Amino acid sequence: MKKTTVINTELSSLIAGMGHMDWMAIGDAGMPVPMGTKKIDLAVTKQLPSFIDVLKNVLAEMEVQRIYLADEIKTENPEQLKAILELLPNVEVTYVPHTELKQDLSQTHGFVRTGEMTPFSNIILESGVTF
């Protein structure tokens, strides 16, 4: 049995398959996922699992060099922004309009849907290297 933190088979496989500069996304329950983009649906009910809990779990196994967030998170969900930045203090942040972030999902290796019910709780993670 797997010993490390990510035990969801699909999520673990997605992370293991990431190369340098590849993208994966984690988002709230309402984020529209483009057809053709792999979706790993972890949502059970409202707020379960939360966006932050899933992000913490992924970060335990994935090296991240840059993140992409919607501009709108700054004004519409500053608490979530603060929590994200606390988890990734030394990672470069790029803010884009939410409409662009939604379009960029088609370039990710996968999207992880959480049960999060707060606005703009979406992130694209750009994979770094561990050497």
Q: What is the mean pLDDT of the chain?
A: 97
> Which CATH number does the domain housing residue 20 bear?
3.40.1650.10
Number of domains in the chain: 1
The tens digit of pLDDT for each residue in 44-93 reads 999 999 999 999 999 999 999 999 999 999 999 999 999 999 999 999 99
Is position 63 within any domain?
yes
pLDDT at position 4 over 90:
no
Is 98 part of any known ligand binding site? yes
131 a known binding residue? no
Residue 120, annotated ligand binder? Answer: yes
Q: Say if residues 42 and 115 touch (Cβ distance below 8 Å).
A: yes
Give the span between the Cα atoms of 14 and 6, in whole angstroms.
11
Residue 3, in any domain of the structure: no
Q: What percentage of the chain's residues is helix, strand, coil (to nearest 5)? A: 30, 25, 45
In a domain, 4, yes or no: no
Q: What is the residue range of 119's domain?
A: 9-127
Question: Is residue 90 in a domain?
Answer: yes
Contact 122/101 with Cβ under 8 angstroms?
yes
Active site positions, annotated: 20
DSSP H helix total and E strand total for the chain: 5, 6
Q: Examine residue 66 and state whether it is found in any structural domain, yes or no.
A: yes
Does pLDDT of 105 surpass 80?
yes
| Residue 57: how many other CB atoms lie within 10 Å | 20
- Structure confidence at residue 2 (pLDDT): 78
In a domain, 2, yes or no: no
Maximum Cα interatomic distance, the chain, rounded to a whole number of Å: 43
Q: Is 127 helix (H, G, I), strand (E, B) or coil?
A: strand
